[in-house]
Amino acid sequence: MSDGVRAADLAAGERLTVAVLAGGRSSEHDVSLSSGAAVRDGLLAAGHEVLWVEIARDGVWNHDGQPLSVTPAAGLLAANVVFPVLHGPFGEDGSVQGFLETLDVAYVGAGVAASAVCLDKVLFKEVMAAHRLPQVDYVGVRAESLQGSREQALAVRERVTRLGLPVFVKPAHLGSSVGIVKVGSEDQLHDALEQAFAHDELVIVEAMAPGLEVECGVLGTLSGEGNGSAGAQVSEPGEIAFAGDWYDYGAKYSPGGMELRIPAGISASAREHVERLALEAFAASACEGLARVDFFVDGERVLLNELNTMPGFTPTSVYAKLLEASGVPYPRLLDRLCRLALERHERERAYSR
């Protein structure tokens, strides 16, 4: 670490100074502020010191009401660890993670490559396909394919309609259900794609999967197994219940819009399959620290949908509730994530590069 304090010198339970990053340039700015405030309060409850760094919508970093300047390899505000509670592009996509690497500071969550892969919904699915993990059928569509010849546009339409209807059209690099449109007929497809392209040059079209929406949390590190780390812990799966016909933005963020049922109403064998796939997806994408992994479960059939490297982080968010139901209360969860960040930082600095 930049201040000369090694992770090994910070005993379990010792007070840490944690810089919490929140806000950011993406359309998930407000969700990030809510998550960041909850993380700040939880870290204070765990006995740590917190430095609040708010990233404005224009990308300017502010601390104590003033723009923040940093120096490469000099850390961030002399913090022991940084908790980047950022959602979407410019924060969850590897950009901030790379910036923190240049500062030589420990940070919570996935590294540069895993962050970039997991935020790109198309690339993530291609990686999972390479690992032969069962997942929802999809088609990736780039903006230029609709701006080219009539033949190109017809080819896109044909690939999409092979998925069957309805389908979901999503910007490839956004979360929190931002910009998603459910398409029930072919004549709705063009407008749905145009709407998604307003957010992103790459769009994913996914088949509608039957069954229950089930989510599972992962905490820990697979790379640390055998090195004194406890390895990765997978949570009890939870079932997402909602009133509408799909889990949209309103269901996620409106009071009473969804209900998290723990344990999920699935069979014991399906539960084991979900937990195993969650760890396999975590490992295949080279994640660190934490992830929320989302599935569709129809009887004994389990399909992987997405992996979120920095899910919503209030105490009432799904990830925190899943871990709490699995024996990890919120303040202890935050403390554990910070310790994991310190361990990884020290482990990686031991290599000659």
Known catalytic residues are 28, 176, 253, 292, 294, 306, 308, 312
Write down the residue that tokens 């201040």 correspond to: 3
Structural element, H or E, at residue 323: helix 318-325
Q: What is the DSSP string of 73-104?
A: TS-STT-SEEEE---STTTSSSHHHHHHHHHT
273: which 2 tokens?
């399959």
d(CA 125, CA 132): 10
User: Tell me, what amino acid is at 96?
Assistant: V
d(CA 143, CA 227): 46
Write down the residue that tokens 């930082």 correspond to: 345
Cβ(268)–Cβ(230) below 8 Å: no
Which residue(s) pair with 207 in the sheet? 167
User: Tell me, what amino acid is at 318?
Assistant: V
Query: Cα angle at 91 between 325 and 306, to 5 degrees?
Result: 50
Q: Which of 229, 230, 248 is nearest to 240 (CA)?
A: 248
Cβ(280)–Cβ(133) below 8 Å: yes
